[in-house]
Amino acid sequence: MRFIRVVIGVCLVALVVVPTALALRFTDESYNPPVGETGKPFPNWSFTGAGGCGPALPYQFRLLNSSAPPGLTIDQSGLVHGIPTQTGDFSFWLELSDENPPSADWCRPESAQRQFTIHIVPGLNIVQKQSSLGGAFVNQPYNLQLTATGGGTLTWSVLSGALPAGLGLNSSTGAISGTPTATGDFTFKIQVKDTGTRSDSQTYTLSIVQQLQINSAKSSVGEVGLPYKLGPTATGGRPGYTWSLDGGTALPAGLALDTATGAISGTPTAAGKSAVKLAVTDTLGLKTTLDLSLNVVARLLLAKKPLPAATVGSAYNVIVAKTGGARPFKWVVIGATAKRTVASTKKVAAGLPKGVKLNARTGQLSGTPTKAGTYRFRLQVTDALGAVSTRSYLLKVQA
């Protein structure tokens, strides 16, 4: 009787020390993997095993001469993860085994193989996956069309947060439209669902800002050979700004645009008119343009053209010839002195003949000379951009 008790005790100890080994097998859950959707992460799910040396020792899984559905990976732990890329029913062979080599000497590794199928359907996915929708101008119409791939009849909704005041979401089309009435940064989550169980959502931020504007004169004049600078500024939007030329337009030769400040500067090298579309873009990607007319005139120059003779007692009207320059002009008589000619002993008088005056705005010499003689004087013209041209003239007054 005592011997029987000892034997029974030894057997009980053996049952405690060494786990009972059952046949290694896949669990029932492994035969019902979830349905995957293209373009969306596969649900958190794993193949699982039972029996054998587990669960005291970890199970191991590996594919046998087959592949997981495109876009998915099956880890050694049995975890299925990834984003499916193709629709269809994808079958593959999977081996389940005990830990091999085992970390416990009581384990005798076994393995089991089965074929499984994972079904992948077209995923319902919002196309616009960017987290920021950029910006919109307050009190200006706004429209953004959200779209989705997959699914049938779709229903759109705001799942959390709120659209900017003045904007609404069309539940049938997915269009966000309206006229925002207040500035600020607004965060909201949009969901789309089909008539089945598929859905997708995306969180967006939309910034409402003041109207972006370029502040600058719409026309400007430069002159060949003279330094030129135009300094437009921007207001509104979301600083900082980036400047560019739009519509395939170009600056006059010799000028360049500073993309950081918007300054147009340089020294023009050729005369002509240029239509320039100046653009500024803010950090939200909002953009506005301004049409500029840049007129580069030729360099101011008094022409080498002699003055016609005048007659005592007769009206004299002559506009001194010049080329180039930017209006308005300012004319003056400067530094004339009397001298004798080389060819004769006749004295040449300094300054304009008595009775003749210079129009300071037009450069016209006019009046009625009262005394015959030869008169030498020097004229200077200055234009609106500071260019100066000077030349000496002789005016003969006949008796």
Q: Give tens-digit pLDDT for 93-107.
A: 999 999 999 999 999
pLDDT of residue 346: 59
* 117's tokens: 């199928």
Confidence check: pLDDT of 11 > 70: no
Other C-beta atoms lying within 10 Å of the C-beta of residue 386: 11
Confidence check: pLDDT of 7 > 80: no
Contact (Cβ atoms closer than 8 angstroms) between residue 380 and residue 390: yes
Fold designation for 217-297: Immunoglobulin-like (2.60.40)
Distance (Å, whole) CA 173 – CA 37: 22
Mean pLDDT of 108-125: 95
* 346's tokens: 């006749």
Strands 72-74 and 45-46: unpaired
Confidence check: pLDDT of 6 > 50: no
pLDDT of residue 1: 42
Q: Which residues pair with residue 242 across a beta bridge?
A: 281
Query: Residues 173-231: pLDDT tens digits?
Result: 999 999 999 999 999 999 999 987 889 999 999 999 999 999 999 999 999 999 999 99
Confidence check: pLDDT of 342 > 50: no
- Please give the span between the terminal C-alpha atoms of the chain, in angstroms, as a whole number: 169
SS3 148: strand
Q: Residue 348 — very low, low, confident or very high, per pLDDT cuts 50/70/90? A: confident
Q: How far is CA 18 from the centre of its chain?
A: 68
pLDDT of residue 10: 39
Q: Look at 15-19, 292-296, 331-335 and tell me which has the smallest mean pLDDT.
A: 15-19
Confidence check: pLDDT of 345 > 90: no
Q: Residue 13 — very low, low, confident or very high, per pLDDT cuts 50/70/90? A: very low
Distance (Å, whole) CA 350 – CA 352: 7
The residue whose two tokens read 């010499």 is 365
Fold designation for 125-209: Immunoglobulin-like (2.60.40)
Kindly report the average pLDDT of the chain as a whole number. 92
Distance (Å, whole) CA 1 – CA 4: 5
Strands 219-223 and 287-297: parallel
Mean pLDDT of 272-284: 97
Mean pLDDT of 78-82: 97
CATH code of 18-121, in short, is 2.60.40.10
One-letter identity of residue 295: N
Q: Of 21, 179, 2, 230, which is closest to residue 106 (Cα–Cα)?
A: 21
Q: How far is CA 145 from the centre of its chain?
A: 20
pLDDT of residue 20: 53
Domain parsing of the chain, residue ranges: 18-121, 125-209, 217-297, 301-398
Confidence check: pLDDT of 338 > 70: no
Confidence check: pLDDT of 340 > 50: no
Query: Residues 118-176: pLDDT tens digits?
Result: 999 989 999 999 999 999 999 999 999 999 988 789 999 999 999 999 999 999 999 99
Q: Confirm whether 18-121 and 125-209 share one CATH topology.
A: yes
Query: Residues 357-395: pLDDT tens digits?
Result: 999 999 999 999 999 999 999 999 999 999 999 999 999
Contact (Cβ atoms closer than 8 angstroms) between residue 351 and residue 369: no
Other C-beta atoms lying within 10 Å of the C-beta of residue 140: 11
Q: Residue 287 — very low, low, confident or very high, per pLDDT cuts 50/70/90? A: very high
Q: Residue 12 — very low, low, confident or very high, per pLDDT cuts 50/70/90? A: very low
pTM score, whole prediction: 0.70
Q: Of 286, 287, 235, which is closest to residue 133 (Cα–Cα)?
A: 286
* 387's tokens: 């260019």
As assigned by CATH, the class of the 301-398 domain is: mainly beta
Distance (Å, whole) CA 336 – CA 34: 103
Q: Of 377, 375, 365, which is closest to residue 397 (Cα–Cα)?
A: 375
